[in-house]
Chain A
């Protein structure tokens, strides 16, 4: 039986920090918060493989480290392949009697660039091969570590340094790539979306993903005050608005079955979400209307998949 963190929080959430404070994340970083929550659930019996990106940079400046569990970073795009190797090494060595089976879990961390763009192929390969691992994509919707360049996960209309808003452009002119759906298409046992603004939901999902045999994928929206041009003290609120407006719905797909984690029969207008972020500040009502229509359409499709009437 899965624990319901939301019901037993005070007793169930450990005060132990496996992702130690003192790292170099920006003020109000939603990603660092998400990593902290994820690591609480992962516990000690885990090996984390991390892509190059914000997390790796703000947590591992030699000779310091925030990681209280075994952690390895090698390159940008290869997390899923490295985690495949780690998992296979354990599998082989346990089978050959070289080490005991202590139920170690294997987890990959990557940003949206490392997941949706440069690392998509290794991720697809690892999911297809069925390695027993959990992949967490911390999606801050652009290459924030290198200075806010657009990725395929950047939302329509957002300003970035490589898709800037200008006289001839609204900024990003493509719609956000739907990574969770790509994961679902691999028919893996567990896919979920999450956001640290809903910490208990996030932790529930990490626990479920971790306990699932085979590949599990969790896509975590990580508010980035630096890149989104938002106020650091509004990180949690912006995350909540992303969910309440339907821009980033929270759901799970367990063995192909969709389940909405929170349903909003009446979504808040996307404008509510966008008004706190200067990356959308240049958008006209016309463009915002287009985004509103698209969000509603996608949300309806999702509700349908989840069987919500």
Chain B
């Protein structure tokens, strides 16, 4: 089933196509490398009349997200994108759409954080966003970047969801790389994305007060209600991915496995590095090692059940983090450990940190991690930063 045409498209342009096809009403963004190609392409589309939307060229990322909040509260289908420092600057605002149940859709072109200044990819920016209450998913290639952006609109705007959603793509690795992908016909996407009507839009005919403050007698209840609602988005995410698969022929899952059927050793990655990891798995398999790969597609809500299921036969889990939580280690590894702690006492989990600030991780890098992890428990360090010149 191939609905659409095969094209060579940069990841950023693929995302812009998705935003055009869902017919977004308001786009508010501030330029930052490596996100710029997305907004440039969208601006072009608007200038050429291919997309009818208001483009608010704001003066900061803080305002970018604030304008998205306002537009979403007024009932518009809203999109923004950012990266690295930009996500840090909008950080405060990111908690607003999730607590006010505004289905803003954003793409993050993942980038390292200063200092030193680095525009290149890692997941430091993502890891600072773990608690913002957004649905968050990771794309591995340009096709997924496109597909997941389409799905993000449908999921976020579902009346049973109404939470903001963020698609993570690796800066440069996806945002600036041209890959072949299937671009579906506009009509097929239009059919997949229902007409959007926000039920509580700011409207003088139905006055509401939004964002009243919550003293101690109600704050806990508000947060609990938000959390219960957030956890209940999971079935909708699965349902949407299922339907997306039925329509477009590409299926997604919260945790995706590669050659895990008989694997006793598993690598765990997020983002574009998964494709290199697959090649590494292939080579290690040829060398006779029982290695497989697990990729977290869904980051929030965290896929506890699927992760536990994926690692049920694994004896050694090797987690690669593209971010460093100083004094702690790899944030993903910490979360994975905590998700599996009292479930799998017989499994060893070893964390590595690599790929910081655009440093490539090669097939050899993955082989090193596996071999090193096999030495466990001789490793004394809590974690190891790999690929560093001493």
The smallest beta-carbon distance between A115 and chain B, in angstroms, is 15
25 contacts between A and B (CB under 8 A): A47-B202, A57-B213, A63-B212, A67-B209, A69-B207, A70-B204, A70-B209, A72-B209, A73-B213, A74-B66, A74-B211, A78-B93, A81-B66, A82-B70, A82-B73, A83-B70, A85-B67, A85-B69, A85-B70, A85-B72, A85-B73, A89-B71, A89-B75, A92-B71, A125-B60
Q: Please name all residues of chain B whose beta carbon is closer than 8 Å to the beta carbon of A71 when the two chains form the complex.
A: 207-210
A63 CA / B208 CA spacing, docked (Å)? 12
The smallest beta-carbon distance between A109 and chain B, in angstroms, is 13
Among the stretches B48-56, B122-130, B226-234, B279-287, the one at the interface with A is B48-56
A92 close to B54 (CB less than 8 A): yes
- B297 at interface (Cβ–Cβ under 8 A)? no
A85 close to B56 (CB less than 8 A): yes
B71 close to A86 (CB less than 8 A): yes
Q: Which of A72, A89, A96, A129 contacts B57 (CB 8 A)?
A: A129
- B295 at interface (Cβ–Cβ under 8 A)? no
B70 close to A72 (CB less than 8 A): yes
A92 close to B207 (CB less than 8 A): no
Chain A: CB-nearest residue to B24: A92
Q: Please name all residues of chain B whose beta carbon is closer than 8 Å to the beta carbon of A45 when the two chains form the complex.
A: 204
Q: Which of A49, A60, A121 contacts B60 (CB 8 A)?
A: A121
Interface contacts beyond A47-B203, A70-B206, A85-B73: sample of 20 additional A-B pairs, CB < 8 Å, sorted by A: A47-B202, A62-B212, A62-B215, A67-B207, A68-B207, A72-B70, A74-B93, A81-B63, A81-B67, A82-B70, A84-B63, A85-B68, A85-B76, A86-B73, A88-B67, A89-B74, A89-B75, A99-B75, A125-B60, A125-B63
A70 close to B207 (CB less than 8 A): yes
The smallest beta-carbon distance between A180 and chain B, in angstroms, is 20
Q: Please name all residues of chain A whose beta carbon is closer than 8 Å to the beta carbon of B212 when the two chains form the complex.
A: 60-65, 73
Chain A: CB-nearest residue to B218: A62
Instruction: Give the size category of A's interface with B.
Output: 35 or more
- A266 at interface (Cβ–Cβ under 8 A)? no
The smallest beta-carbon distance between A307 and chain B, in angstroms, is 34
- Looking at chain A's contact residues, the main secondary structure is mixed
Knowing A45-B204, A67-B209, A72-B73, the reply to whether A96 touches B52 (Cβ < 8 A) is: yes
A96 CA / B59 CA spacing, docked (Å)? 26
Knowing A92-B54, A104-B204, the reply to whether A60 touches B67 (Cβ < 8 A) is: no
Q: Please name all residues of chain A whose beta carbon is closer than 8 Å to the beta carbon of B360 when the two chains form the complex.
A: none
- A46 at interface (Cβ–Cβ under 8 A)? yes
B62 close to A81 (CB less than 8 A): yes
The smallest beta-carbon distance between B130 and chain A, in angstroms, is 20
Knowing A67-B209, A89-B75, the reply to whether A75 touches B204 (Cβ < 8 A) is: no
8 closest A-B pairs by beta carbon, nearest first, are A85-B70, A125-B59, A81-B66, A81-B63, A89-B74, A85-B67, A89-B76, A78-B66
A104 CA / B74 CA spacing, docked (Å)? 12
B69 close to A82 (CB less than 8 A): yes
The smallest beta-carbon distance between B1 and chain A, in angstroms, is 32
Q: Which of B72, B92, B204 contacts A46 (CB 8 A)?
A: B204
A130 CA / B211 CA spacing, docked (Å)? 26
- A77 at interface (Cβ–Cβ under 8 A)? yes
Fill in one digit per residue for B20-64: 1 if any A CB lies within 8 Å of its CB, else 0: 000001101000000000000000000000001110111110111
Chain A: CB-nearest residue to B196: A98
The smallest beta-carbon distance between A293 and chain B, in angstroms, is 37
Knowing A72-B202, A82-B70, A122-B63, the reply to whether A88 touches B213 (Cβ < 8 A) is: no
On A, residues with C-beta under 8 Å from B are 44-47, 49-50, 56-57, 60-65, 67-75, 77-78, 80-93, 95-96, 98-99, 102, 104, 121-122, 124-125, 128-129
- B214 at interface (Cβ–Cβ under 8 A)? yes
- B100 at interface (Cβ–Cβ under 8 A)? yes
B74 close to A60 (CB less than 8 A): no
- B96 at interface (Cβ–Cβ under 8 A)? yes
The smallest beta-carbon distance between B321 and chain A, in angstroms, is 31
A93 CA / B205 CA spacing, docked (Å)? 16
Fill in one digit per residue for B179-215: 1 if any A CB lies within 8 Å of its CB, else 0: 0000000000000000000000011111111111111
A306 CA / B16 CA spacing, docked (Å)? 50
Fill in one digit per residue for B91-134: 1 if any A CB lies within 8 Å of its CB, else 0: 01100100010000000000000000000000000000000000
Contacting A at CB under 8 A, from B144-187, are none
Chain A: CB-nearest residue to B70: A85
A75 close to B93 (CB less than 8 A): yes
Fill in one digit per residue for B356-390: 1 if any A CB lies within 8 Å of its CB, else 0: 00000000000000000000000000000000000
Q: Please name all residues of chain A whose beta carbon is closer than 8 Å to the beta carbon of B71 when the two chains form the complex.
A: 85-86, 88-89, 92
Q: Please name all residues of chain B whose beta carbon is closer than 8 Å to the beta carbon of A57 when the two chains form the complex.
A: 213
The smallest beta-carbon distance between B208 and chain A, in angstroms, is 6
Knowing A74-B96, A82-B70, the reply to whether A62 touches B213 (Cβ < 8 A) is: yes
Q: Please name all residues of chain A whose beta carbon is closer than 8 Å to the beta carbon of B214 when the two chains form the complex.
A: 62
Chain B: CB-nearest residue to A99: B75
A70 CA / B72 CA spacing, docked (Å)? 14
Chain B: CB-nearest residue to A102: B204
The smallest beta-carbon distance between A66 and chain B, in angstroms, is 9
A122 CA / B28 CA spacing, docked (Å)? 13
Q: Please name all residues of chain B whose beta carbon is closer than 8 Å to the beta carbon of A61 when the two chains form the complex.
A: 212-213, 215
Q: Please name all residues of chain A whose beta carbon is closer than 8 Å to the beta carbon of B215 when the two chains form the complex.
A: 61-62
